[in-house]
Structure 1
Amino acid sequence: MQFGLIGKSLVHSFSAAYFQAKFEKLHLSDYRYLNCELASIDELSSLLADGQWQGFNVTIPYKEVCIPFLAGLSPEAQAIGAVNTIVRKGEEWWGHNTDHLGFRRALQESWPQMKLKKALILGSGGASKAVIYALEQMGIASQIVSRNPAKGQIDYQEAQSRLQEFPLIINTSPLGTFPDVDAMPSLEPQGDLSGHYFMDLIYNPEETLWLQKARAAGAAVLNGKSMLVYQAEAAWKLWQDQ
């Protein structure tokens, strides 16, 4: 059985080591998990046509553009508009999204006491769509922040001026990921942020510069490691069900 991660730059990815350790623990000696770096999404067709693969995870920048290559989507992936797990069903490939499950569980387990009604979401890519979907299920309204805001979105300058309005702030952009650890989203955690919650979906480094500044300002902080583990486990269950 062969599984893989589809992305563009995967040298520091978590998934391969995580699943190889899982296979060893479960004594699945004929299972393996490989990184599949694609220079272009057009390379996905030949990968899916190779019969040795049973399932894939999908990461930046292919969570949305992979959809036309699939036979169909789960209701959640359809609603979100992004895919992070691909499952073989006979001769067809179907897209699912387990990011929203991982995010929701990470949030609820880390901050069970958190009661709020609105959140600020930095970034508008595939990861942000899963986060917004999960927050909707939790009754939390989202405001997207983008460098080039579309209708209903705001720019970083406006977000900065309204920071205190939002008790939950989530970075879904890759800014600050190793090795670019000095990079940071254009929303500065400043002022008294006690009572605020800052989550960064990045897990490497363990605490980004953005989270360090939020913690220093009094906010509760959380990285993306637990979300990653929970979405991986949900993906594993989907593959096993097939």
Structure 2
Amino acid sequence: MKIYGLIGYPLSHSFSKGFFAEKFAKEGIKDCLYDSFPIPSIEELPALITRYPELQGLNVTIPYKEVVMPYLDELSPAAAQIRAVNCIHFKDGRKTGYNTDAIGFRRSLEPLLQSHHNKALVLGTGGAAKAVQYVLDSMNIPYKLVSRKASPGTITYEQLDEEIMSSHKLIVNTTPLGMYPNVEAAPELPYDLISSGHLLYDLIYNPAVTAFLQKGADRGAVIKNGHEMLILQAEASWEIWNGL
């Protein structure tokens, strides 16, 4: 039996476990099992690996995407640049870290892009933002980082004026603002400056339409939530684990 799973803490609701259970059933994959492994500390990872010698791959979620890296033997170029890992492949006694968030984001964003989506605003500066920045860099789309606090390389929400909003037609929310149950929350954008030329992408998938996306839709913008990205990053993990 080949074992795959998800590490993080806590793991009250795991998209991954349900996704792979459905995938295995639908595709008639009999020799594989995917489980959730909530470990209270990353220091418990070596013991987990020892306990399950059949482990072929792990997904990694909050809060371990960065602190897991010292436990690995090597990193893919993307994971090394992003400095975050959400997928581990076990092969020939070696543990390799990958970042499939970047793969999922790129694959779901590309079909939506038009020629005028040539500059972006990235809301938030956390781990998720790093994967988004990596993708935008690789697609040669310049961007500004937006944060509540001013710091080198970022601008604040207060600085978003008509010129910036009209020239940056792609806006990506990487913050947790608006995630269930706090569905009323939204990044403090000047939403009146959003037009039908804008594309608003939210990494959140619950609720399906966040306040951020709804405010954009009300102004005629194209909107996209993070559900497809989640599916695509899970599929990318499966491709990596199976050498597809």
TM over 0.5: yes
* Correspondence 1:125 to 2:126: yes
Instruction: Choose from 147, 158, 176 the match for 2:178.
Output: 176
After the TM superposition, which residues 146-225 of structure 1 pair with which residues of structure 2 at under 5 Å, given as runs? Answer: 146-159=147-160, 162-225=164-227
The aligned residue for residue 84 of structure 1 is 86
Distance change >3 Å, CA 151–CA 94, structure 1 → 2: same
Aligned partners of 2:136, 2:172: CA distance in 1, in Å?
11
The aligned residue for residue 237 of structure 1 is 239
Distance change >3 Å, CA 210–CA 71, structure 1 → 2: same
Instruction: Work out whether residues 145 and 155 of structure 1, in 8 Å CA contact, stay in contact via their aligned partners in 2.
Output: yes
State the aligned residue count. Answer: 241
Aligned partners of 1:118, 1:9: CA distance in 2, in Å?
36
Aligned partners of 1:181, 1:38: CA distance in 2, in Å?
28
Q: Using the aligned pairs only, state the percent identity.
A: 46
Q: For residue 194 of structure 1, what is the amino acid of its counterpart?
A: S
The aligned residue for residue 63 of structure 1 is 65
**Cα RMSD for the two superposed structures:** 2.0
Gaps of 5+ in 1: none
Measured after TM superposition, the shift of residue 126 of structure 1 is: 2.0
Gaps of 5+ in 2: none
Superposed CA deviations along residues 61-112 of structure 1, whole A, max 9, x for unmatched, are: 3222211111110111112211111110222211011221211111112x14
The aligned residue for residue 99 of structure 1 is 101
Aligned partners of 1:76, 1:192: CA distance in 2, in Å?
32
Instruction: Work out whether residues 2 and 55 of structure 1, in 8 Å CA contact, stay in contact via their aligned partners in 2.
Output: yes
Measured after TM superposition, the shift of residue 55 of structure 1 is: 0.8
Instruction: Work out whether residues 117 and 198 of structure 2, in 8 Å CA contact, stay in contact via their aligned partners in 1.
Output: no
Residue 154 of structure 1 aligns to a residue whose secondary structure is strand
Distance change >3 Å, CA 48–CA 207, structure 1 → 2: same
Q: For residue 153 of structure 2, what is the amino acid of its counterpart?
A: G
Instruction: Work out whether residues 160 and 187 of structure 1, in 8 Å CA contact, stay in contact via their aligned partners in 2.
Output: no
Instruction: Work out whether residues 190 and 214 of structure 1, in 8 Å CA contact, stay in contact via their aligned partners in 2.
Output: no
Q: For residue 157 of structure 1, what is the amino acid of its counterpart?
A: E
Taking structure 1 as the reference length, the TM-score comes to 0.90
